[in-house]
Chain A
């Protein structure tokens, strides 16, 4: 493997390019018209335009991406996550074109990527699942019928989905119709597929997932769990490993369940099995992600392994370089997903130009970013701009280090979730490890609304900044820019 095409953008494209560089493998980036200035385009050895800004016309264009692969002589394609990463048709098109798809075989993606068939395989492998419809539901009548059988509360989920899109919590029968409409519409926009299925909602669930890795010679290992219960609107925002909730017995049991499923499915390459764990520490298999995960760095940091390099090695036919008993969780790692969202305005998207960027450093800190100072975060794609990871000897140290790193991380020009992370990381329930998947939306949100805010300091700062500005404009000779021109420029920058 001499050259890899990275069929993605943003921070994950940068992450893959970094692995390739370290392995001495050439990189080919693809980009949409709006992504010409993107960091992955600048970092790759080659970059080729694949279409207009909407994903459907660029990053989801199988034909264009394969054309670029052929023209550039790439041996393999790494799909990252999102976009085409769980698209079996794309994996098959790669196989047919003689380009290695870095991931499972296309038939495995079809089997395990589609949630309803993955559940059937899980049941066959003896892995417990959450009660629900095994098939996508056809219409509102069927949804009502099945909902009556499964019971409320329940979840509507996109059959082709992931990442919180096309997902709706339904508390009572009265909310079904509206939830179905919204779930379908989001699923269609995100995945080009509006089919949804139903599942019972587990009360006080923890979201715990197991990272697996299998080679094409029949060897498979798990790389322990990741705790992903800190979610906002079903979107993970903070992940850690180990989970403060998982006992050694549960870890061993979940690892064994995950490997049973991997063997049943004949799975090859990296994958993740997501489980809900209830208050009695009973795990229920939810779904399998047949790709790298956003939160893969916490596993890398505690195990000392590089999952992207291992994906590439497996894809070129190598054996896993270790056995299960060689793997250890060392210390504790936490990841915060830095989103371009405004936590003080209901997490509305906050695209725009990054005016100032200061990245944290020091011991035990890793920043997997896809942006730079002066870069304009486009409105067309996912708002994830960076993943900040901190390591510590134990959970307490890791939290302290993450708080230190968050306070050093400065982004001006767009709003990000960084200030919000500082508040989550110091919340007593988070510090105690006592939370479930509803924590951010309920208990934390209620406490956060009541927090003391630095209103006086802000008022003094704004007043004095205005005074400073007037002092400066008075000092300026009349021939120079008219008074207020600097401010007008700053306003334009800020509003753009």
Chain B
């Protein structure tokens, strides 16, 4: 199978053949031997050309979150077997929905529809676990919609603000 894997802003082409945990893997043209053994509880032992990695694996809507002793990385996967040249998935053109990263309560709204937000600007202040957290714009854009009101309790993943 061929995957297009996007991780930490990088997109890698991963071609894997084999079965039962033992695979030949081509990563961006380089070939390695990889052995994935799931050891229970969401953990796995991964040997890449004999180098041992103890990792945690958590399914996400787009792929997996991979946990290391000193880092964790979200990997977005696309099946690129049929279309080997498939471009990595992009956000719907123009619109960007800012989602609540955790459950919590909306303390303050800092923008209104029509406001031109700059990259890094705080849009909403959310309270969770007794701390106020500023939810920021990842890129510049005009605020099209504010989907919450002050005092409202929201679940993780609830849309907060839509940027154009």
Complex Cα gap A415–B71 (Å) = 11
Interface residue B124 (Cβ < 8 Å from any Cβ of A)? no
Contact digits for B109-143, partner A, Cβ 8 Å, 1 yes 0 no = 00000000000000000011111110000000000
Which residue in chain A gives the minimum CB-CB distance to B25? A460
Complex Cα gap A66–B6 (Å) = 56
Q: B28 to nearest A CB, angstroms?
A: 8
Interface residue B96 (Cβ < 8 Å from any Cβ of A)? no
Which residues of A sit under 8 angstroms from B59, Cβ to Cβ? 487, 490-491, 494
Complex Cα gap A78–B82 (Å) = 65
Complex Cα gap A341–B107 (Å) = 19
Given the known inter-chain contacts A351-B103, A462-B77, A468-B38, please indicate yes or no for A410 contacting B12, CB distance below 8 A: no
Which residue in chain A gives the minimum CB-CB distance to B57? A465
Interface residue B147 (Cβ < 8 Å from any Cβ of A)? no
Given the known inter-chain contacts A382-B129, A412-B56, A465-B36, please indicate yes or no for A456 contacting B75, CB distance below 8 A: no
Which residue in chain A gives the minimum CB-CB distance to B107? A185
Which residues of B sit under 8 angstroms from A418, Cβ to Cβ? 69
Q: Is the CB of B19 within 8 A of A471?
A: yes
Given the known inter-chain contacts A381-B129, A465-B44, please indicate yes or no for A494 contacting B60, CB distance below 8 A: yes
Pick from B16, B56, B70, B104: contact of A464, CB under 8 Å? B16
Interface residue A317 (Cβ < 8 Å from any Cβ of B)? no
Interface residue A406 (Cβ < 8 Å from any Cβ of B)? yes
Segment with Cβ contacts to B, from A67-75, A262-270, A342-350: A342-350
Interface size on A, residues (CB 8 A): 59
Interface residue B5 (Cβ < 8 Å from any Cβ of A)? yes
Q: Is the CB of A349 within 8 A of B73?
A: no
Q: Is the CB of A457 within 8 A of B101?
A: no
Tell me the interface secondary structure of chain A in the complex: helix
Q: B140 to nearest A CB, angstroms?
A: 19
Which residue in chain B gives the minimum CB-CB distance to A344? B72
Which residue in chain A gives the minimum CB-CB distance to B62? A462
* B contact residues, range: 35 or more
Q: Is the CB of A419 within 8 A of B77?
A: no
Complex Cα gap A461–B70 (Å) = 16
Interface residue B157 (Cβ < 8 Å from any Cβ of A)? yes
Given the known inter-chain contacts A185-B107, A356-B41, A419-B72, please indicate yes or no for A495 contacting B46, CB distance below 8 A: no
Q: Is the CB of B63 within 8 A of A462?
A: yes
Q: Is the CB of A349 within 8 A of B131?
A: yes
Given the known inter-chain contacts A407-B69, A466-B63, A491-B61, please indicate yes or no for A461 contacting B44, CB distance below 8 A: yes
Given the known inter-chain contacts A457-B53, A459-B5, please indicate yes or no for A349 contacting B70, CB distance below 8 A: no
Given the known inter-chain contacts A422-B70, A458-B75, A462-B75, please indicate yes or no for A379 contacting B102, CB distance below 8 A: yes
Q: Would you give 21 A-B contacts (Cβ < 8 Å), ordered by A?
A: A189-B107, A344-B73, A349-B128, A380-B129, A381-B130, A413-B42, A413-B58, A419-B68, A459-B7, A460-B27, A461-B57, A461-B66, A462-B3, A462-B75, A464-B34, A465-B36, A465-B57, A466-B3, A467-B1, A490-B59, A491-B61
B contact set with A: CB distance below 8 Å: 1, 3, 5, 7-8, 10, 12, 14, 16, 19-21, 23, 25, 27, 32, 34, 36, 38, 41-44, 46, 48, 53, 55-61, 63-64, 66-73, 75, 77, 101-104, 107-108, 127-133, 156-157
> Would you list the 10 A-B pairs with minimal beta carbon distance, nearest first?
A462-B75, A459-B5, A422-B70, A356-B41, A349-B129, A462-B64, A458-B66, A458-B73, A349-B128, A464-B36
